[in-house]
Amino acid sequence: MPSVAVKLYSVFFKFLLKHRLQNRIHSPSDESGAFGVTSRPEETVAAANPSFADGVATKDIHIDPFTSLTVRIFLPESALNPPELDSKAQGKSRVKAGLNRPDPDVGSANNLRRNSMPGLVNAEFSNVEEKRRNSCGNEAGADGLGLKSDGVVYRGYAPSMENCRKLPVMLQFHGGGFVSGSCDSVANDLFCRRIAKLCDVIVLAVGYRLAPESRYPAAFEDGLKVLHWLGKQANLAECSKSMGNGRVNGGEMRKADGRRHIVDTFGASMVEPWLAAHGNPSRCVLLGVSCGANIADFVSRKAVEAGKLLDPVKVVAQVLMYPFVVGSVPTHSEIKLANSYFYDKAMCMLAWKLFLPEEDFSLDHPAANPLVPGRGPALKLMPPTLTIVAEHDWMRDRAIAYSEELRKVNVDAPVLEYKDAVHDFATLDMLLKTPQAQACAEDIAIWVKKYISLRGHEFSY
């Protein structure tokens, strides 16, 4: 059973959340515009930190001029390491150097890999140090990316775009019942930092529009819009790179060509430098928390339908953490745990009334029930799906049933159930530092690395 502290906090949490939801139902919302909101005044927000003070650099980007859609980028410090050498070349160099035996002076496998080519050790470490110096606003790197303006350099990590390490990209959708939460909240910031470090990925936390200001399908459209934006960034980066490869006079490179970049009508760079230098969208993972899992599953479906139209973006896996699902025919857990901790059935019904259009409200709405027929595309086309469920979550059984349907058509869809856990156990502010939350993040990293790692390096990425 959950601890006494969790039970007491759950009572306070439900009282406060119920009060807020009822106020939003009874007070008319301003639906005059589609700009929307992505955060509530009562939300505790963590400021973006563009330097690697704690191992992860962050920055906020408003990616849509017509809505409030924002993205917070989490770049792990591992991106500053030199790119991995080809495994075959690495093996040959080890044989040449006689380094097949463990080196007593090397404390870790990573150090052993760095020392496998002795002639490159100093160069590699010097490159790392140079990149670390650039993280405080190196002028050459910033100028080449259009980050320098009137002598003022962006005081954050500015990649040099040369010999950068490419990391997979993970789109993360926060929870909150579609009506609360934000991509820059303290809890979501800490969770994304943890995932970025453990999975060794660039995390894009999506600040989608909240209900009731922006009802269905606003949040789902925002999730898909970010996936398209990621593909646009990859294409812009490639165009910018090709512009810098212009040659004149029989192959001589002009110095100015290396500093070209694509700008908008205001002269601002359209290429996000962190993604251009370090992002590999061909290894893209979707991770959704609670209602964010519903968005992630929707985006996965649309990615399957789009196919090669999304190139170079390729969704290789998705993680659904205690999905925010419901249906007209109750399951065993929906009956037995209707008054569960933190998010009980009554409060979730209030959230669905705020999110779904009044004229289209149904517990079997495609956004609410993953088991309704005709959602499309065929389940056998869905990417590998890891489902996280909690023992004391009333939505548990329906999430497990959806995973079972995926397994029936041979999709890799394991379920990890955590005993004595409650809904939001790995992402709620007061539970983030518990052993269960840490174990859950580690389990996600182990599974995800099967699909984002380079072939042959699944467990050493």
Strongest mean pLDDT among 71-85, 279-293, 351-365:
279-293
Which whole number is the average pLDDT over 328-343?
Answer: 92
46, 184 Cβ separation under 8 angstroms: yes
pLDDT exceeds cutoff 80 at 101: no
Q: Which of 185, 340, 423, 424 is catalytic?
A: 423
pLDDT of residue 97: 41
Which whole number is the average pLDDT over 322-338?
Answer: 94
55, 76 Cβ separation under 8 angstroms: yes
pLDDT of residue 375: 84
403: amino acid identity, one letter: S
Our answer to whether residue 290 is catalytic in this structure is: yes
Average pLDDT of the chain? Answer: 82
> What counts of helices (H) and strands (E) characterise the chain?
13, 12
pLDDT of residue 164: 84
Domains parsed from the chain with CATH numbers: 4-26+35-80+158-243+264-452 (3.40.50.1820)
Query: How does pLDDT run across 160-189, given as a tens digit for each residue?
Result: 767 788 999 999 999 999 999 999 999 999
Closest CA to 37 of 176, 179, 173: 179
- Cα gap 219→183, rounded to integer Å: 13
Which is more confident, 370 or 119? 370
With a CB cutoff of 8 Å and minimum separation 6, the contacts of 4 are none
Our answer to whether residue 364 is catalytic in this structure is: no
Query: How does pLDDT run across 45-69, given as a tens digit for each residue?
Result: 999 999 998 999 999 999 999 999 9
β-pair type (167-173, 202-207):
parallel
Q: Which of 290, 300, 333, 340 is catalytic?
A: 290
- Cα gap 193→208, rounded to integer Å: 19
Phi, psi (degrees; rounded to nearest 5) at 44: -85, 120
Q: Which of 200, 393, 397, 424 is catalytic?
A: 393
pLDDT of residue 84: 62
pLDDT of residue 81: 87
Closest CA to 156 of 145, 171, 170: 145
Query: How does pLDDT run across 7-59, given as a tens digit for each residue?
Result: 998 898 889 888 888 888 877 655 545 799 999 998 999 999 999 989 999 99
Closest CA to 417 of 446, 439, 445: 439
408 exposure class (CB count in 10 Å sphere: 0-12, 13-18, 19+): exposed
